[in-house]
Structure 1
Amino acid sequence: MSWLGLEGRTAVVTGAGGGIGQAVSAALAAEGVRVVLLDRDIARAEDLATALGGAAVALRCELTEPEQLAEAAARVEAEGGADILVNSAAILRPGTLDTLAEADWSAMLAVNLTGSLAASQAFGRGMLARGRGSIVHIASIAASQPQPASGAYSASKAALAMLSRQLAYEWGPRGVRSNCVSPGLVMTPMSAAFYADPEVRAKRESMVPLRRIATPEDVADVTLFLASDRASYITGQEMVVDGGLSQSLMGLVPRPGYA
């Protein structure tokens, strides 16, 4: 038995085919968890399920399609229900706010925020009925540090962090915990273009006190802890996984006599 004690549980991961979603799913499966992989790209989810073996099942699910989400939730509930939900699905449509199209703004909110609420409702109802469960939302340090030229991304992640806190307050008395993990700079398929230039990567690394870009596994480790009973008295919290980047603001301010 592992230290986390997650064996035999069922977890649902949205956006399971993405970089962080894949890492979280693999880490859960390694702990003996049955993982339900939700992704709008079913081929990507099925490839991951194959790689994880019998510990995973892939379901096509677009969070903005209520019928697909309801079908996925009904199937999971018929097989015993979810003990853990990880809301990892997210999209990015970059653009400055003076030119951002309303359609792009709405699309990001629909997936990053409303999709997380919809998944929490769909799989949380069973948790509430059983009086136990853990939900972990993947937010971002962009929730508290405005990220320029990223459209609605910062706003959607800030709202997601508050959604997590509100769920914790409303559902805590009924045995369901809600927390969020806020990664900093992470190497994922969605961010890979930012690191194509070695000079850009080196500059980014130099800004992080731990001097490296995070891996999806760094985020997965914290997610599993929050999902487990080792965090049974933690709810409504945001755990920042950024190598200290968000603590570096004052280091950018010139100070006489200090190099």
Structure 2
Amino acid sequence: MNAPAPIDYSRLFRLDGRTAVVIGAGSGIGREAAHALAAQGAHVVVADYSRESAEATAAQISELGGVAEAYELNVLDDDAVEAAAERFGTAAALVFTAATNVRKRMDDYTLDEFDRVVNLNLRASFQLIRRFGARFAANGGGSIIGFASIRAQVVEPGQGVYAATKAGLVQLAKTAAAEYGPQGVRVNVVAPGVVETPLTAQIKANDEWYGAYAQKAALGRWARPDELAGAVVYLASDASSFVTGSTLTVDGGWTAIDGRFTPPAC
């Protein structure tokens, strides 16, 4: 096997001439990821359930000198996902961030709520990974980047179904990495801690809850959506060319800390 060409470190994170599809780019982490990828030279497909939100993000990127196009996509529509994979199967990267949560204890969950969380967080992820994975494999490779959560690793009451979907996504990514790896497709997930997005509005509205989460992280605060963008650029670029089947945890040290009490020094 021929050795890889020497790396030009000055361009390690550049994505010039490449297309990146970002699903959920109408707001939050997805929007910031789209901006970051465009800033590195990628042609960004700004995909979102809301056409209006996708167009707004694409317009922002264009105003900053980047290249972007809006694309309306409902990831719960299997035909629509298949069509998107067909249209953008020659892209270099796929990023998907869409997710939902119903914070209830298991006894209080309805099966309709269970289905809603599982369908968006896990079933849709499965469809995206395998549809784009097959296209990327046929076209010489690519990078697939999903968004899991610290809840794939640590839980609390009221997070059971959400946590299960995120743990499931981690395992799907590992399996896809194994299955598509020989064709040059890398599959990884980013696992954020608490991030100030619309999904966490319920927590932010409760000062005690918000403060408790902030203090749990080693950095003593929540993340901003833009602080996840660097992880996406890394996983989409040549900087991570030998990284696959991995979970990149971006949680401010949340999962590194044992408990919520700092004992006195011995």
Q: 1:109 — aligned with what?
A: 118
Q: 1:66 — aligned with what?
A: 78
C-alpha offsets along residues 92-124 of structure 1, whole Å, 9 cap, x if unaligned? 122211120111111111111111121122222
1:16 aligns to 2:28 (yes or no): no
**1:158 Cα shift?**
0.4
Q: Does the 8 A contact of 2:93 with 2:142 survive in 1?
A: yes
Q: Give the whole-Å Cα distance in 2 for the aligned partners of 1:197 and 1:204.
A: 11
Q: 2:7 — aligned with what?
A: none
Q: 2:193 — aligned with what?
A: 184
1:12-51 equivalent positions in 2, closer than 5 A: 12-51=21-60
**1:152 Cα shift?**
1.4
Q: Does the 8 A contact of 1:97 with 1:149 survive in 2?
A: yes
Q: Does the 8 A contact of 1:177 with 1:235 survive in 2?
A: yes
**1:258 Cα shift?**
4.8
C-alpha offsets along residues 140-199 of structure 1, whole Å, 9 cap, x if unaligned? 000011132135110000000111111111111111011111000111122133223445
Q: 1:118 — aligned with what?
A: 127
In structure 2, the gaps of 5 or more residues are: 1-9
1:129 aligns to 2:116 (yes or no): no
1:56 aligns to 2:68 (yes or no): yes
Kindly tell me: are residues 234 and 245 of structure 1, through their superposed partners in 2, closer, same or farther at Cα, counting changes over 3 Å? same
Q: For 1:211, which of 220, 227, 240 is the aligned residue?
A: 220
Q: Give the whole-Å Cα distance in 1 for the aligned partners of 2:140 and 2:258.
A: 42
1:158 aligns to 2:167 (yes or no): yes
Question: SS where residue 136 of structure 1 aligns?
Answer: strand
**1:87 Cα shift?**
1.9
Kindly tell me: are residues 119 and 161 of structure 1, through their superposed partners in 2, closer, same or farther at Cα, counting changes over 3 Å? same
TM-score (normalizing by structure 2) = 0.89
Q: Does the 8 A contact of 2:12 with 2:238 survive in 1?
A: no
Q: Does the 8 A contact of 1:100 with 1:151 survive in 2?
A: no
Q: For 2:231, which of 216, 219, 222 is the aligned residue?
A: 222
Please identify, of 68-77 and 6-15, the stretch whose mean Cα deviation from structure 2 is larger: 68-77
**1:65 Cα shift?**
0.5
TM-score (normalizing by structure 1) = 0.91
Q: Which amino acid letter does the alignment assign opposite residue 72 of structure 1?
A: A
Q: Give the whole-Å Cα distance in 2 for the aligned partners of 1:147 and 1:198.
A: 18
Q: Give the whole-Å Cα distance in 2 for the aligned partners of 1:158 and 1:63.
A: 19
Question: SS where residue 190 of structure 1 aligns?
Answer: helix
Q: Does the 8 A contact of 1:89 with 1:111 survive in 2?
A: yes
Q: Give the whole-Å Cα distance in 1 for the aligned partners of 2:174 and 2:22.
A: 19
C-alpha offsets along residues 2-41 of structure 1, whole Å, 9 cap, x if unaligned? 4402111111111112311111111111111111122111
Matched length: 254
Q: Give the whole-Å Cα distance in 1 for the aligned partners of 2:160 and 2:50.
A: 23
Q: Does the 8 A contact of 2:196 with 2:225 survive in 1?
A: yes
Q: Give the whole-Å Cα distance in 1 for the aligned partners of 2:121 and 2:187.
A: 16
Q: Does the 8 A contact of 2:86 with 2:135 survive in 1?
A: no
